[in-house]
Each structure stands twice: as structure tokens, then as C-alpha cells.
Structure 1
Amino acid sequence: MSAQIPLGLALPKRPARGREAFRVSASNAAAVALIDRWRSWPNGLLTLTGPEGAGKTHLAHVWAGETGAERVAAATLDPADPPALVAAGAAAVEDADRIGGDARAEAALFHLINLARAEGAALLITGRGAPQSWPIRMPDLASRLAGAMSASLEPPDEALIADLLAKHFHDRGLQVDEGVLRFLGRRIERSAAAAAATVARLDEAALDAGRRITLPFVKEVTGL
């Protein structure tokens, strides 16, 4: 049986964000391949979409590390920001689907797209759902986003769910048997959010009970 770090310790929960920690499977391989070919993006622009918890932030973090890109939340964009972001040669703007109706942020993103194109900088923009569905009010910005090359992170398959569970356990300083990962991977909802929530629930329950996360304990806590 695999050894586990003793429970009851106040271990820091630090998500691993490196390339080696990003799990590639059939559900995200196409998107990863497009990210890797960033030098060939039309007009230097790519939108990366997917459901909450699908790995957009992690992949943006990996890409930023490889390109030297600055990462910024779309909601914090200011019209004065684009020159500095473009000067780095690459930029990643996250959660652009959440700025609909924010005239200042929309104007800043539109300016950033235009400036990056003019200066030959690479620009990665993430959001949930297709860009055409984002509630953007500026017609020119909506047109730019809709016309950009897009990569989509699909809902995870069984193999990826098992890998995500392993990653979340690792991020929390825990090791579990492969049997636990297989059991959960076949039974929980096929979503990254469900994987994260399941591990958090088991971690909390194990800490409260002072027990290890074994298969019998998992069955007891989850009722699966």
C-alpha cells in the first residue's frame, strides 16, 4: 500500500502549475497542440475556451512560463495597460467572458488586440464558452474575438479525471492508492470541478476523522 502523509497537519495547498503537472488526454490534446504552435497563430491571437475548472488557467500559466507572457485578469484591464503588456512580446488575458458591459475593460481589451497585432506580439485570451456567446457589448471587440482562432478544452474523459484526482491529492500533500483513483474516476461526475470538490471533501473528512484516505473510507464518505 502506498504511504500517505499523516493527516492532521496544516499542509499548504499549492496547486502545481508547471508543464509537467498539466495532464494531457484525448479531451484536451488538440488544444494543447494549438497552444504549443503559438508562433503560427493567425494575427498572433488565440482564444482558449472551456468549462470552469477545465484547465484554462493552468494552461495559460504554462504558456506564460514558456513565452515570457504577462498574465492579467480581463476585468482588471485598463486602457493604459496594453503598451506594457505588448512590450513583453506576449500576454495572456484570463476570463474575458466576464467583462461584458464593462466599457473600460472592453475598450482596453480591444486596444490590446489591435496593438498586439500591430507589434507582432502573441495574445492568449481565455474564457468559458465560445467567444460568440460572451456578452461583449462593443461590436468591434465582439467581431475580433469571434473571428480569432479558438482552442477548446473539452470535458475530461475517464483517464483525465483520474489524473486530475491524483493532481489534487498531490497538491494537498496526500498520496492515495491507485485503487482509490480508479474507483473515483469511474464514478464521479466527468468534470474538473467535480474532481477538485471530491478531493477537497475527502481531505476535510479525513482531517476531521483523523483517518487515512483508503478505499473503504472513500466509499463511506462519498456513498459511491
Structure 2
Amino acid sequence: MGASNADAWAAIMAWPDWPHRTSLIIGAEGTGKTHLAAVWRERSGARIIGAGDLTDTDPVSLVQAGPLCVENCDRATLDEPVLFHLLNAVQAAGSHLLLTARIPPAEWRISTRDIASRLRAIPPLTIGVPEDELLERVLAKLFADRQLTVEPTVASYLVRRIERSFRAANRLVDLLDREALARRRPVTRRMAGEVLEAEGFGGDDDPDDTAS
């Protein structure tokens, strides 16, 4: 948890003591919305579905099954009648609903005025771009999860050179895992620089190690 996602994290941790039955997490691609949704699922037992999967579903049945998270609400063409009934069903059942999106509801393609008004009334939990310290901790955890041996300076070196998103961090650790396995060596700054350069990010002009 860092300053960029502190409010959203606090809200997830506060469940079930939410001030509203429905919460909305807004953040750019790769900022950790899916991760927070997964954390909430661990806490609440919620079911997670994509916004495109709302079509032809029974909102009452969805809510009766327990807390629900609907992801990527700004990507799919939302089934507006189902969404409207879902918002009502959550209130009637006393359940909880978590929505995620990249942009605020005012920018979604919503044609039904009542739904647009209901969505705008949900206090948004905005996630910003992860700061260096948070992204470095994420990289360290990803390396540890894969049981990779990594030089101490690699995470801080990478943070200054990759896209500032959890998605980029995951992708790069996956590439380094494969490279370390292929070479049968620990992950070094030189190796990291070579992988970055091969991926078009540019490598380290003067890496301070000599391992290959």
C-alpha cells in the first residue's frame, strides 16, 4: 500500500463497514484495480465478473449469492437495464457491490439518465500512478513469489526505467524469470538491462556488475 492507492486500500480494508452499499474504484490501466478486487474477494467472499458478463444475468440472483465485484465497467457495452436492477437489488438485499473502471462514470457510454445519475452519486476511490517506493516493493514481492535470486539493486534500477504500472512490473518479472532460468544465473542489473533493451525500453549504459 502506498500514497497512490491509500484511499482505495483503506476502503477495501474497512469492509463491511462501508458508508454506501456500492463502491467504485477508478484507476488507469495497470494501477492495481484487479489486485484490490482480489483482496476484497479474499475478505468478503465476493464473486468477480466482467461488465460484459452482466448481459442475460439475473441481478437478484447475483446479489443473493453474496457480495459482487463488476470489473471494467467502462470497457464493455453495459447492459443498462441489468445494471439498474443490480444497483437496486444491492440496496434491497443489504449486500455490497464493487465496481472498477479506468475513467469516471460521467465518461462512460450511459444513455439512461437515471443510471448515469446513480453512478455519479457513488463516491469514487481513485488510484493514482504507483510511486517509486510502492512499485519497488511490488517488484521485490514478485521476485520473492517466484523464488528468484536477485541482486539488491535490481528493483530500484528497474523502477526508474519501466512503465509505472503493476502490469509492467508483472510482465518484466516474468521475462526476467525466464531469462534467469535459461542462463541458470541470478537476476543481475546487467541481465535486467539486457532484457529491458531487448524489449525496447533501453538498457543500462554503464551497469555496475559484470555478470552475464
TM-score w.r.t. length of structure 1: 0.78
Q: 1:47–1:151: 8 Å Cα contact kept in structure 2?
A: yes
CA shift for structure 1 position 79: 4.7
Q: 1:156–1:190: 8 Å Cα contact kept in structure 2?
A: yes
Q: 1:71–1:92: 8 Å Cα contact kept in structure 2?
A: yes
Structure 2 residues without counterparts, runs of 5 or longer: 197-202, 205-212
1:11-39: CA deviations, max 9, x gaps? xxxxxxxxxxxxx1111111111222333
Q: 2:60–2:89: 8 Å Cα contact kept in structure 1?
A: yes
Partners of 1:110 and 1:168 lie apart in 2 by 39
- Pairing partner for 2:161 from 172, 187, 196: 187
User: Is residue 48 from structure 1 mapped to residue 22 from structure 2 by the alignment?
Assistant: no
Partners of 2:195 and 2:23 lie apart in 1 by 42
Partners of 1:140 and 1:174 lie apart in 2 by 52
Q: Which residue is equivalent to 1:156?
A: 130
Q: Which residue is equivalent to 1:82?
A: 59
CA shift for structure 1 position 210: 4.5
Q: Which residue is equivalent to 2:83?
A: 109
After alignment, is 39-48 or 91-100 more displaced? 39-48
- Pairing partner for 1:203 from 177, 194, 199: 177
TM-score w.r.t. length of structure 2: 0.82
Q: 1:38–1:44: 8 Å Cα contact kept in structure 2?
A: no
Q: Which residue is equivalent to 2:94?
A: 120
Partners of 1:32 and 1:182 lie apart in 2 by 24
- Pairing partner for 1:216 from 187, 190, 199: 190
Partners of 1:170 and 1:134 lie apart in 2 by 38
- RMSD between aligned alpha carbons? 2.1
Give the residue type in structure 2 aligned to 1:197: R
CA shift for structure 1 position 114: 1.0
Q: Which residue is equivalent to 2:199?
A: none
Q: 2:151–2:186: 8 Å Cα contact kept in structure 1?
A: no
Whose RCO is larger (CA < 8 A, sep 6+)?
A: 1
User: Is residue 65 from structure 1 mapped to residue 42 from structure 2 by the alignment?
Assistant: yes
1:106-127: CA deviations, max 9, x gaps? 2212211111012211111111
Q: Which residue is equivalent to 1:132?
A: 106
DSSP-derived class of the 1:176 partner: coil
Partners of 1:66 and 1:192 lie apart in 2 by 21
Partners of 1:99 and 1:138 lie apart in 2 by 16
Q: 1:168–1:199: 8 Å Cα contact kept in structure 2?
A: yes
Q: Which residue is equivalent to 2:2?
A: 25
> In structure 2, do the counterparts of structure 1 residues 148 and 217 end up closer, same or farther at CA, with 3 Å as the change threshold?
same
After alignment, is 194-203 or 70-79 more displaced? 194-203
Give the residue type in structure 1 aligned to 2:91: R
Give the residue type in structure 2 aligned to 1:168: L
DSSP-derived class of the 1:75 partner: helix
